[in-house]
Structure 1
Amino acid sequence: MENELARVHRALRTLSAGNRCLLRASNEQELLTEMCRVIVEKGGYRVACVCYAVHDDQKNIRWMAAVGTDIARMAAFNHSWADNERGVSATGTAIRTGLPVVGRMLSDPIYSNSVFSTLREQAERDGFTSVTALPLRVDGQVIGCLLMGAAEPDAFDEAEVKLLNELADDLAYGIENQRVREQHRSAQATIARLAYYDPLTGLPNRTCLHEQLEEAMQAARQQHHAIALLHMEIGRFHEINKVIGYRAVDELLRELATRLSDCCAGKGTLARVGETAFALMISHSNVDHATRLAHQLLDKLRAPVHVAGLLLDAQACIGLAMFPGHATDADALIRRANAAMHLARPTGGGFAIYMGGLEQEYTRRLALMGDLHRAITENELRLFCQPKVDIATRAFTGAEALVRWEHPQHGLIATAEFVKLAEQAGTITPLTHWMLEAAFSQGYAWQEAGTARTLAVNLSVHDLYSPGLVDRIAGLFTTWGLSSDLIQFELTESALMTDPELAQQTLARLKDLGVTLVIDDFGTGYSGLSYLQRLPVDGIKIDQSFVMPLVTNADSEVIVRSTIELGHNLGLQVVAEGVESRAVWERLAMLGCDAAQGYLIAKPLPAERLPEWEREWALV
């Protein structure tokens, strides 16, 4: 009775110490090790071990912690929880059945088997003759067991095992709790990483760079040193994406990020700050040092990359801004490095340093983007026309429809500027829709006045490949009842070459409407003669860059003469744009050019003034 009471007291003492252990452990492995130590040192047992079940074909057991015995020797025994001769030990049976098991090393027949000879030798060395294996159940599943060994051969009676099983349940609860904590820690770490690091490249992201830049600036103010910020942009990204797809583009970006990381190692903080943009913050740097590093980075970025079976040349541009010379806060420094990058051109070395006034210009352009949207929707734009005349007869043959925008604050905005803004802001299609509506409306007004005139409307590359373009134009013909010979369309050669097959399909559908089609800026694109012959076009306009120097540049005359002959051989009407002098007019007449357009004839003028100009021209 005294022995039984002593064992119950030992179990209670162990249970109490184990509960305190649950509160102190900071992770799962620490909990297992500390629990084994408490069992031996506080409880007075000879051996304590924890093992986990391995769910492999052999149903092996992995020993996680042990006190009072050598864990390496336990592992060498090759325990199993399978239903075979290796799995009939107390440990294997407890895991397999989910029930507490008591083993007597000296009296149980199973331990007399030669399979357990090594285990018996270990028990003799460690001084235990009886064991109990208590299953550890987590989330309803037995994950392993708590093994305890005692010196007494009759230890672990029913009362003691009952108390120790509570200890095992407490340990299982502690394991589950630690795993939940670890999941929370892992989730928090993942959230933090997603918030501060780019998942594709593993580099810090814009948020992380911003915070580090603010900290670096604070230190720089105290220590009186400068900071350089390089903003890098990978060019041709969207073009490459079309060819190889987004997965291969991701591979390309990872390779470029690796190159940058290798080159920047130990030199500063490299971050991915946009889809194709990277930034490098360099503390204790000056302009010369940052410039040298920028050129090293450009060399790394420009080296061809093997991706998707292709050898790709990823162009890059880098802009530099300095603290405190260019900006004294993180937001401004980032903006100004980005502004400098937009000044850089691959053909000009791909590098630029921020200059004062850039930020104001970009702010103005952003404001203009918003104002342009309002100008389109509220009909603040104006339709202008530039006449075209027959060179041989001087007869007025029609006009090119142009759009002008007079901003309330900034005055007349250059057409090339706001068309580019429209492309960047995604409002080029609404702008084209405005132009079409204005041209058809004006054409109808002239027709109603009994003086029908032909208007030519320019279509951009975005318009040409818009799936609803032809249907919209067909609808406008129906709406206004105009004859198809009163509306022409001009398309640049470069736009046609963006996607030749799709362009040819669109031109064929336009031609089915009965309209005249003209290739604008001819000679500046890359179309071949065989492709030009297949296009359903009616005319070509020789680009002004060849026409204007016609009488002073022999090469220009050769180009213009050849273009006229080519056009006539293909049955096309040839128009020369940029005619600004009588000498050019006369030379074009000698070369047989059909029509002319330019300042010699008329500058672009408001549509309502075209009839007045026409009367004046007839009198000249």
Structure 2
Amino acid sequence: MRPQVDSNTRNRIRELEDLLHQKEAELALLTEISEIVASEDGRDTAFVVIAERARTLLGAKTVTIPLLSTDQTSYTYRAAAGQNAEELTGAELPIEVGLCGWVLRNQKPWWRGTLDDLEENERNYWEKQAGNIILVPLVGKRRFLGGIAAIDKMDGSSFTEQDLGLLAMFSRQVGFAVENAMYLEELQTATEHMETYRIQLEQSNRQLLRTNEELEHLALHDPLTGLPNRSLVVDRMQQAILNARRNQEPMALLMLDLDHFKEVNDTLGHLVGDKLLTRVGERFQSSLREPDTLGRLGGDEFAIVLPQASQEDARIVAEKLQDALRRPVDIEQNSFSVAASIGIAVYPEHGPDPSSLLRSADIAMYVAKRARNEFAIYKPEFDTYNPDHLSLLRDLREAIRRGSITAAFQPKLDLRSGIIVGVEALARWHHPERGDIPPYEFIPILEQTGLIKPFTLQILEKAVDYCAQCRQRNMEFSVAVNLSMHNLRDDKLPEQISEIINRYDFDHRQLVLEITESAIMHDPEHSLGILGQLDEMGLKLSVDDFGTGYSSLTYLKRLPVSQLKIDRSFVKDLITDEDDAMIVRSTIELAHNLGLDTVAEGVEDEQTLEHLRALNCDMAQGFLISRPLSPDNFFRFLASSPWAARSKRPEPESG
């Protein structure tokens, strides 16, 4: 027999059952919303479900969900259910407008029900048509989100405080779900933006890489034929010379120009001439090995770098190039029989560096053209046949007589203190008709004549004069001037240098004389005598381009030098070439063991500079620090460069 239950108990049970059903309904709602939010494309659906469930809960004609913008200056009806839902959804309004704006500004519910407290101009379009509204804030765990609004009861009655409480409770239940939906949406948007940015970045990087490759190609290749230009040919020559020096083997350079090419241009026009150059370049290329470099130097002049090639190898290649021209070249219904003159120079017999090899091959090519031979191999006696050489020599003599050879100054950086401590004076010649003539073109001409002696003294005097001016401006540093082997043969050199120094009241210790290994070793005993006198005068002596010559350590120990300059050919690839890194490291250690300082030439990037500093190199010079500067530009450099900020002498104390 079941026990009797009184009415109070039954009522209490019904209340608990109703509460249980309500909680089950709330749990089901939250579960449904959470599943929709987590679905792939259900976030908009989730907002609609929330609005629909709230409308059912309150028996409202319309429910909207206005969400606050990130900058809190506006709100958007993210979802709506019921009457005018499509029109409302997506509408955006300033936060100063409407009931939603009031609730979002004040972050508290609108509980009065009617809109009588709002002025006509404060209501938005839909509120002017509505008679009864309740609106509660929608708050997540981490931020204020917006609100939920119910507009007009379906039965025509007014919303009560009980309705307001139901809507507030509903808002609390779905707030976190709404917040998660918004976060997921923001996350997806951010992810899409990141992906778009990543794609754009990859595209930009690819485009930048292509542009850099194109710029590098344009900088190093002839735009007409696509062949390496003079800069790249010289670089390939330098690489071939370094390998030849290391492996004690020869390398060769061929220079070639086409006979009567000017007549083709003048008769048939430059377009035909350009096509002829391109076709000839293609034929030459097909006659060469893969390691060989064919380049166009300009006009109808080509150069071929032959690594690991002897004089006989170069002669065979020259014959192959001539064979390639024996077949006529057909261009636009014209058939051309092309001939060429070839000059050959071989390292090391005809020159130790690119400039001297280019010069020797150029002279040999002129000899071949004049003698109507297919090719000629350079001989020293050919030099008198070069009319360009004779013309430059005449103009150089006049420039030295007039004192129009100028000096540029390239700073030397002390790697320990990080300041400029010296400069190297470099000769510059501006020809009145040809413009700037690079030193590698006119220095060899000077070295073949007695002009190198007055020329060197003239540059030395300009350097001392300039540094004396700097000293008057309270800027003090050493200056280095290059000497040739011809200077070292001159017994009057110490006296001449002393006279210049004394005339400008210049500190002997601030003058550095740089001598190449080859200049010293040409006549080492005589060089030792001259260098000894210069050392006794208090001058500093430096071995230039160390590592590129054939010096003897026995003589190096006896030389009164205080500095070794590491050649740029080893510094250039210091980071990427293990052999160069070993040579630089060994040179620094050798110099320090002998009590000498080291200067690294050709420093062009921060990574190389830091590596040299780690190797305990003493000084560095190169384009990273500064290119060679005119006297006026160097003054400006000293005034503005952080490296030069402490190069000034301290002001004398007053009193």
TM (norm. structure 2) is: 0.41
Q: Which has the larger radius of gyration?
A: 2
TM (norm. structure 1) is: 0.43
